[in-house]
Structure 1
Amino acid sequence: MTSPFERPGRATMAALICAMAPLVAHAQMQAFDIAAGDLRAGIDQFARETRAQLIYRLQDVQGLRTQGVKGSHEPDRALELLLAGTPLKFRRDGTALVIYRPAPEAAAEAPEINALETVTVTAQRRPEAAQTVPIALTAFNAAALETHRIHSLQDASRLTPGLLVSAFSPSNPTIAIRGANNTFNQMGVSKPVAVVVDDVFIPRNSAASFELFDLDSLTVLKGPQGTLFGRNVTGGAIVINTAKPAYGQRLNRAEISLGNFDSVQVNALTNLPLGEEQALKISAAVKRHGGYGSDRLTGREQDDLDSRNARAQLRLGLSRDVEALVSADYAEDASGGRTLSSTTLGDDGNRRTSELGVPQGYGRTLWGVSAKLEWALPAGELTSVTALRHSRSAEDYSGVGASHTLLTAGSQSVTSDAERVRTVSQELRYASPRWKTGDFQVGAFLLDEDGSRQLGVRGFAARTGVLASSTLADQRVRTRSYSLFADGSWHLLPTLDLVAGVRYTHDRKTADLVRTDALRPASSFTAQGLSAAWSEVTPRVALNWQPSREALLYASVTKGFTAGGFNTDAASLASLTTPFNPETVVNKELGLKSQWFGNRLRINLSVFDMRYRDKQEFVNNTVTGILTITNASEATIKGREIEVALKPLSWLGLSLNHGHLDARYDRFVIGSINYTGNPLASTPRNKTSVAADLRLPLAGLGHFIGAVSYARLTSYNTGAANDPNLQIPGYELVNANVGLESADGRWRVLAWLKNAANRAYILTRSTQVVRAEYLGEPRTVGLTAAMRF
């Protein structure tokens, strides 16, 4: 039977989609209304209205005035008019617009910029300079992603304080922000960290770990995102924006990388103008490498990769006030599974070999389509984001780190995990103009997620290999979620703002489970139509004080919410039919964002205190003897972060980032279990990174380019039990690259080195029957050649 919640949810979603469809109509230029006055204020308004990424030096624009821009113009023409009467020019550099002061003797040449880049983010659902946003975040623009060869979320985590990305297996990555995470893989479980790509929420971690290519920016938002982002989360959000098609610009790019382990990667894109305000961009990436490990009993490669990704985007100016971005993407990847290497029975001394003796494998396909419509109203802007996403993955792996032929007792557990998830989402939001007294946003978000999973687990008895257990859990969970949100800023004083927001979230989940025990039929059970709903109001209040152009201080209190769910991996009917509750967190934070000496030095600080109630954890209930998700009562995470960036010379950039966490369970008692006082999982006490990048001009030869980064984190636990056998030791990683780039940026050759010291760092440990470990990537080295034409 369809619930009362489902009927209006479907009807509302259909109405919103139909209501936005007629907006797809005509094409035209963009309307501007930038008043005469301070040039820097005009430039910042231009960036907000066009969503362009601007790079400029403060000393170049200070004291200059603009005559403003009125009427309809192409963005490049509008910027030209904005700079008219000033000594400044602009040029395109990839997806960025660089504003510069030409040298008198060579006015046509753009000089090297001796200032840190201004990164544009959408943390508050408006394009804004990252330094003006009163939210703790780490942002990478397209240039930084390319400079430091950030191709995955794990790469980004090494340079981001507070972010930890690891993996239990290829289908089950761990993504934690400031310790907020869960490792549950049950169908329908909500994650405390959101991954958002082009304003589209990705619901499952199995679909959230992918190759990053052709991006405009990647931003890590830290702390609860309870008011502005589509899905209410307690930990934070990773916001990924791909590079949009460019009007009036024909561009082709190709890049090929070759490396050890028979590594080959090819990236390519083409940007095709279809008219004055129509453009199509197609991008694709292929990556393959041999196995980092192997199973010495079967001879099969493991931790290899065969990946293909493609994306097409059509950008249309549909009318005088409407622009559309229609996107479609497809990805597939496969590997021979993970190298879980025994450190006890059967250990051959090689940490890159396993002793599993069973076929392993992993395969996944992802695809999605979305339509984003932006409508400039007479007062404000209306945005609609409609998306359909589908993911399918399957993994076969041994949960025990040694073959049954090597075991002296117990059994070898072999798991077959296959899932399908379909998600339809619709977001509609209105952003007011930026009035002198303030501004606001309101919106609604709808999510319809339908997921199914078949989890088969077989146990093979020690020595004999006789089938000792065989269960199959056929799971299906459907999630309906809707939320209404509002967020606004009031200018109390010229330098003091009050920010307040609120979101109402309602989640309903229905679950079916057919659990079949092939050897013990009496343990089989079926449950259908289980249903539970949760609602929560999550507010945000902040004070922002900007005593000078160089500094912004903020204080905020924010609440976040992660929905409850059902234990669809449950081994008993009672455990299944008792849902676990939502978790909530209240985060109190003080922060400073500052930039000094003409934006050559940037210092950002934050201090926070996160208090959890009913934190969700996966534990072995000693009363029932069953592994289950439960609420761990209360926990506190305190921490501090600092990010420093320095541009001492026009060709050299330096950065230092550090995060410190003190995370403890204030009360965690279930049956005879008492984890009170234990540290939370995935919370290394200290995490530090240092990086440098250079772009040194060579007379007549272009530029000598390079980057090096050092990242270090201390040990951390992977579970609440504080088991030393499951602790991940601290480790250090060094990455580097060096090369040449032509003066016009049309070609580049780069040699690179990843994990230079070949550290054998651990991703996860296992104590199931035997002790075992799963390592991260070994040292890789290669050469990349890229060309624009």
Structure 2
Amino acid sequence: MEIKAGRKPGLARTVGRTALLAVGAITGALAGAEQARAQEERDEIIVTAQRREQAIQDVPIAINAFNAEQLEEANIGDVSDLQVITPSLFVNTTGSAASDATIRIRGVGTTGNNAGLEGAVGVFIDGVYRNRSGMALGQLTDVERIEVLRGPQSTLFGKNTSAGALSIITRAPDFASVSAGGSMTFGDPDVLGMTGYVNLPVADNLALRFTGAADSREGYIENRNTGAQNQDVDRWFVRGQALWDMNTDASFRLIVDYSEINNNGNTAVRARHAGARAATINIIETNAGLSPTAAGTFDSNSLNGDPNNQAEDFGISGELNWDLSPSVTLTNITAYRDYNRANAGDTDFTGADRAIAESW
């Protein structure tokens, strides 16, 4: 008996096509995984929340970190804007937008904005502690990253961090090449903002970097007694840096900065009252000669004086980094800061010369 073995040509072609499709799918999956890993490496944020450089996913701390690209995409201009992208962060500047602020994390923090109070959220800029939160209200320009640490951080950051810490790291000078950049913003009412930087490698081991910014905006609440436009913005700052690679194991970074704020600051308008309450208030104020504005008029008020806010902040710091071994680096930061502020406001919110609050 003769037995013949055979195969169907169609089945062979089907198996062949299936094998090719399987190989193609595996190759595509591997390529996609490699691209995803490459993108993840590019997007990885290195933080120093534990006083050493680590990938953010390796830090056992509740932390939000934002690099320069993320800050630019979110249009973050100053510290108060950070609460838009950090749900647990609250920044209140109602007392004096120029020089006072209260910063809270997870609802915990100092509630008063008096200049004599130290906050429960520590603010650090390039490793230097700012003992008044108003010192951190300047423009966030030429920033490398910002870290918001939630919860007590006293072990690594010292006192006044029982609610958390805010760490701002600016861009250091770059040895690679000469570079410059800037931006301009304008709008209504008479909004004008400018930022810019210049990076200058002076030698193979010495580089300089200069940064500046200025913001101005016309006020939008008119004081009918004085004609001034309150709630305006007028601020500017400059920063100069030098980075010196002393040798293969040591480097020194010098930072000098100065900022100034001078505006009519915050004011208040009357809320709308209904019924007999509004009539009673108007009668009392009119008979007292307080020249009240109508309730619910949110673009004007009638005060006997205009609020004002001024702040000047100067600082110089030096950071020495010395690699003692491949795994140990000694860092010393020495800084000096001089901060002056003054503000005044009409706290009776009327045309009477009864209550003026001033602080320095």
Q: Which amino acid aligns with 1:330?
A: Y
Structure 2: distance between partners of 1:347 and 1:183: 31
Structure 1: gaps of 5 or more residues: 1-56, 63-99, 101-112, 406-411, 419-789
1:496-507 matches, cutoff 5 A: none
Distance 1:259 1:274, change over 3 A: same
Structure 2: distance between partners of 1:306 and 1:326: 28
| Distance apart, 1:404 and its partner CA | 2.1
Q: Do structure 1's residue 414 and structure 2's residue 342 form an aligned pair?
A: no
Q: Which amino acid aligns with 1:59?
A: E
TM-superposition CA deviations, 1:112-171 (whole Å, max 9, x none): x58882112111111111121111111110000111110111211011121011222223
Candidates 381, 388, 391, aligned match of 2:336: 388
Q: C-alpha root-mean-square deviation of aligned residues, in Å? A: 2.1
Q: Secondary structure of 2:80's partner?
A: helix
Distance 1:136 1:267, change over 3 A: same
| Distance apart, 1:353 and its partner CA | 2.0
Q: Secondary structure of 2:247's partner?
A: coil
TM-superposition CA deviations, 1:645-703 (whole Å, max 9, x none): xxxxxxxxxxxxxxxxxxxxxxxxxxxxxxxxxxxxxxxxxxxxxxxxxxxxxxxxxxx
Candidates 54, 68, 86, aligned match of 1:160: 86
Candidates 284, 297, 313, aligned match of 1:366: 313
TM-superposition CA deviations, 1:7-65 (whole Å, max 9, x none): xxxxxxxxxxxxxxxxxxxxxxxxxxxxxxxxxxxxxxxxxxxxxxxxxx973597xxx
Q: Do structure 1's residue 268 and structure 2's residue 165 form an aligned pair?
A: no
Q: Which amino acid aligns with 1:153?
A: V
Structure 1: distance between partners of 2:200 and 2:173: 8
Q: Secondary structure of 1:264's partner?
A: strand
| Distance apart, 1:183 and its partner CA | 3.4
**Greater strand content:** 1
Q: Report if the CA contact (8 A) 1:339-1:353 is conserved.
A: no
| Distance apart, 1:341 and its partner CA | 1.1
| Distance apart, 1:251 and its partner CA | 0.1
Number of residue equivalences: 307
Partner residue in 2 for 1:399? 347
Q: Secondary structure of 1:169's partner?
A: coil
Partner residue in 1 for 2:278? none
Structure 2: distance between partners of 1:61 and 1:322: 36
Candidates 71, 88, 96, aligned match of 1:169: 96
1:216-365 matches, cutoff 5 A: 216-343=144-271, 345=281, 346-348=292-294, 349-365=296-312
Partner residue in 1 for 2:23? none
Partner residue in 2 for 1:123? 49
Report sequence identity in percent: 30
Partner residue in 2 for 1:105? none
| Distance apart, 1:347 and its partner CA | 4.4
Q: Report if the CA contact (8 A) 2:102-2:119 is conserved.
A: no
Partner residue in 2 for 1:146? 72
Q: Which amino acid aligns with 1:386?
A: T
Structure 1: distance between partners of 2:104 and 2:33: 36
Structure 2: distance between partners of 1:273 and 1:115: 28
Structure 2: distance between partners of 1:387 and 1:413: 39
Structure 1: distance between partners of 2:42 and 2:206: 33
Structure 2: distance between partners of 1:212 and 1:129: 23
1:48-87 matches, cutoff 5 A: 59-60=34-35
Structure 2: distance between partners of 1:297 and 1:326: 49
Q: Report if the CA contact (8 A) 2:138-2:237 is conserved.
A: no
Q: Which amino acid aligns with 1:388?
A: Y
Candidates 118, 143, 158, aligned match of 1:190: 118
Structure 1: distance between partners of 2:128 and 2:40: 36
* Superposition TM-score, scaled by structure 2 size: 0.80
Structure 2: distance between partners of 1:190 and 1:148: 29
Structure 1: distance between partners of 2:115 and 2:145: 30
Q: Secondary structure of 1:131's partner?
A: helix
Q: Report if the CA contact (8 A) 1:192-1:234 is conserved.
A: yes
TM-superposition CA deviations, 1:191-223 (whole Å, max 9, x none): 101110000000012222111111000111101
Structure 2: distance between partners of 1:144 and 1:175: 22
1:332-731 matches, cutoff 5 A: 332-343=260-271, 345=281, 346-348=292-294, 349-378=296-325, 380-404=328-352, 412-418=354-360
Q: Report if the CA contact (8 A) 2:109-2:120 is conserved.
A: yes
Distance 1:282 1:230, change over 3 A: farther
Distance 1:301 1:187, change over 3 A: closer
Structure 1: distance between partners of 2:33 and 2:57: 13
TM-superposition CA deviations, 1:54-109 (whole Å, max 9, x none): xxx973597xxxxxxxxxxxxxxxxxxxxxxxxxxxxxxxxxxxxx5xxxxxxxxx
Q: Which amino acid aligns with 2:90?
A: L
Structure 2: distance between partners of 1:187 and 1:356: 24
Q: Report if the CA contact (8 A) 2:176-2:201 is conserved.
A: yes
Q: Which amino acid aligns with 2:144?
A: D
Structure 1: distance between partners of 2:257 and 2:224: 38
Partner residue in 2 for 1:501? none
Structure 1: distance between partners of 2:249 and 2:42: 34
TM-superposition CA deviations, 1:305-354 (whole Å, max 9, x none): 11111000101101221111100000001111212112265342222323
Q: Which amino acid aligns with 1:397?
A: G
Q: Which amino acid aligns with 1:248?
A: A
* Superposition TM-score, scaled by structure 1 size: 0.38
1:69-108 matches, cutoff 5 A: none
Structure 1: distance between partners of 2:244 and 2:182: 25
Distance 1:232 1:298, change over 3 A: closer
